[in-house]
Structure 1
Amino acid sequence: MEVHTRHTPAFGVARIRLQPREAVQALADTMLASSFGVAEAQPARSGARAGTKSAYSVFTAPAEGGWIDLAPQGSGDVYALELDGAQGWCVAKDAFFARPSTVRRDDGWHGLQTLFGGDSGFLEHYSGTGPLVLACAGPVDALTLERGELVTVTPGFAVAYPDTVQCRLRALDPSGPQSVRTGEGLALDFAGPGQVFVRARRG
C-alpha cells in the first residue's frame, strides 16, 4: 500500500495505491473515486448494535490491483504516518483516517490504561508496519524534542506521538471540570527525545 496526498493542508485528499487483492480500512463515506473494480464492504457492528452499519469501510483491490481516493468529511490536512514496526504510536481517536491490515489498533494497550486510569480516553494505540493515514483540521505540524526537553500540549491539538516519548497527563486546574474522553481541562506533558505531531487548528 502506497499513499500519496494532494491539496494539503487545506483540503487534503489521499490516493492509496493497492496491490492485487490488497485491502485498506478507512472511515465510511470517504471514498471520492477509485479505479474500476475496487470493492467496498461495510461490516455490521457486533453486540448491541448488531445489524447497523460500521463506522468503517474495507476497500479491496481486484486481481490487477488498483487505487482509491479518500477525502475527509471536513476541510483540513491528510498525513501519512509510516510505521516501521520498531515502535508504536498513540493517535488521537478523531485523527484516524485509513490503515492497511499490517497496521493494527491495540485495544487495551497498557500505556494508555496507565495514562487514563483504565477509562476510555481520547487516544488510541497503533502498531505494525505500513502507512497509518491521519486526517484533521490542519495543517499537521511536528514538534521535535531534544533529549530532556519538555513541552506541554493541549489535548485538543494533539495528533500523534511515538510510545517511546515520555508522556504525562495532568489537570490544568484540579478544582475545574476535566474529561479523559475529550481532554477538557487537561494537559499533556512530553519529554524528549522524539517528535510530537500536533494540528494547527482544532476540529
Structure 2
Amino acid sequence: MRVHTRHTPHCGVARILLSPGEAVQANADAMVASSFGVTETPPARGGVRSHGKGLPSVFNAPAEGGWLDLAPAVAGDVYPLEFDGKLGWSVRKGAVLARPSTLRHDQNWAAHGKLFGADNGFLDHYTGVGPLVLSAAGPVDQFTLEPGELVTVRPDYLLAYPDSVQCRLRAVDPSGPQSVATGEGLALDFAGPGTVLVQARNRRLSKA
C-alpha cells in the first residue's frame, strides 16, 4: 500500500494505491471515489458490533490493483504515519483514516492501562509495518524531543506519539471536571527522545 496526498494541509485527500489483491480498512463514509473493480466488505452486523457507529469497511483491490480516495469528515490535513516494525505508536481515537492489514490495533495495551486505569481512554495503540493514514483538524505540526527534553500538550491537540516517548497524564485543575474518554481537564507531559505529532486545530471545537 502506498499513499499520495493532495489539497493538504487544509482540505486533505489521501489516495490509497493498492497492489493486486491488497486490502485496506477505512470508514466507508470517508470514501470519495475508487478505481473500477475495488470492492467493499462492510463491517459485520449483529451482536455487539451492531451497536457501533462508524465501523470501518474493508476495501479490496482486484487482480490488476487499484486505488481509492479518502477524505476526512473534518477539514484539515491527512498524514501518512510510517511504521518501521520497531516502534509502536499511540494515536488519538478517531484520527485513523485508513489502515493496511500489515498494521495491528493493539487492544488493551498495557501502557494505556497504566495511563488511564480501568477506563477507556482517548488513545489507541498500533504496531506493525506500513503507512497508517491519519486525519487532523488543521495542519499537522510536531515536536522533536531530545533525550530528557520535556513538552506539555493538551489532549484535544494530540495526534500521535511513539513508544520511545515517556508520557504522564495529569489534571490541569484537580478540583475541576476531568474525563479520560475525551481528555477534558487533562494535560500530557512528554519526555524524549521521539517526535510528538499534534494537530493545529482543536478537533472537538472544530465540530461545534
TM-score, normalized by the shorter chain, greater than 0.5: yes
Root-mean-square deviation over aligned CA pairs: 1.4
Q: Measured at CA, do residues 169 and 45 of structure 1 come closer, stay the same or move farther in structure 2, by a change above 3 Å?
A: farther
Shift of residue 96 of structure 1? 1.1
Which residue does the alignment assign to 2:8? Answer: 8
Quick check: 1:166–1:192 contact (8 Å CA) kept in 2? yes
Alignment partners' CA distance in 2, 1:94 and 1:149: 28
Alignment partners' CA distance in 1, 2:5 and 2:103: 19
TM-score relative to the length of structure 2? 0.94
Which residue does the alignment assign to 1:89? Answer: 89
Alignment partners' CA distance in 2, 1:126 and 1:132: 9
List per-residue Cα deviations over 1:80-99 (Å, max 9, x = no partner).
Answer: 00001101000000211111
- Which stretches in structure 2 are left out of the alignment for 5+ residues? 204-208
Alignment partners' CA distance in 2, 1:40 and 1:120: 30
Which residue does the alignment assign to 1:116? Answer: 116
Which residue does the alignment assign to 1:199? Answer: 199
Shift of residue 110 of structure 1? 0.2
Q: Measured at CA, do residues 190 and 78 of structure 1 come closer, stay the same or move farther in structure 2, by a change above 3 Å?
A: same
Structure 1 stretch displaced more, 22-31 or 154-163: 22-31
Q: Measured at CA, do residues 132 and 154 of structure 1 come closer, stay the same or move farther in structure 2, by a change above 3 Å?
A: same
Structure 1 stretch displaced more, 23-32 or 188-197: 23-32
What code does the residue aligned with 1:132 have? Answer: L
Alignment partners' CA distance in 1, 2:184 and 2:51: 33
Alignment partners' CA distance in 2, 1:71 and 1:124: 21
Describe how 1:37-116 pairs up with structure 2 within 5 A: 37-50=37-50, 55-116=55-116
Which residue does the alignment assign to 1:183? Answer: 183
What code does the residue aligned with 2:95 have? Answer: A
Shift of residue 118 of structure 1? 2.1
Alignment partners' CA distance in 2, 1:145 and 1:102: 28
What code does the residue aligned with 2:37 have? Answer: G
Shift of residue 147 of structure 1? 1.2
Which residue does the alignment assign to 2:206? Answer: none
What code does the residue aligned with 2:13 have? Answer: V
- Which stretches in structure 1 are left out of the alignment for 5+ residues? none
Shift of residue 55 of structure 1? 1.7
List per-residue Cα deviations over 1:145-192 (Å, max 9, x = no partner).
Answer: 111111000000000000110000001111111000000010000001
Alignment partners' CA distance in 1, 2:149 and 2:52: 47
List per-residue Cα deviations over 1:89-117 (Å, max 9, x = no partner).
Answer: 00000211111000010010001011001
Alignment partners' CA distance in 2, 1:8 and 1:55: 25
Quick check: 1:149–1:193 contact (8 Å CA) kept in 2? yes
What code does the residue aligned with 1:16 have? Answer: I
Alignment partners' CA distance in 1, 2:53 and 2:191: 41
Alignment partners' CA distance in 2, 1:52 and 1:45: 10
**Quick check: 1:131 aligned with 2:170?**
no
Alignment partners' CA distance in 2, 1:90 and 1:52: 22
Alignment partners' CA distance in 2, 1:46 and 1:167: 37
What code does the residue aligned with 2:180 have? Answer: V
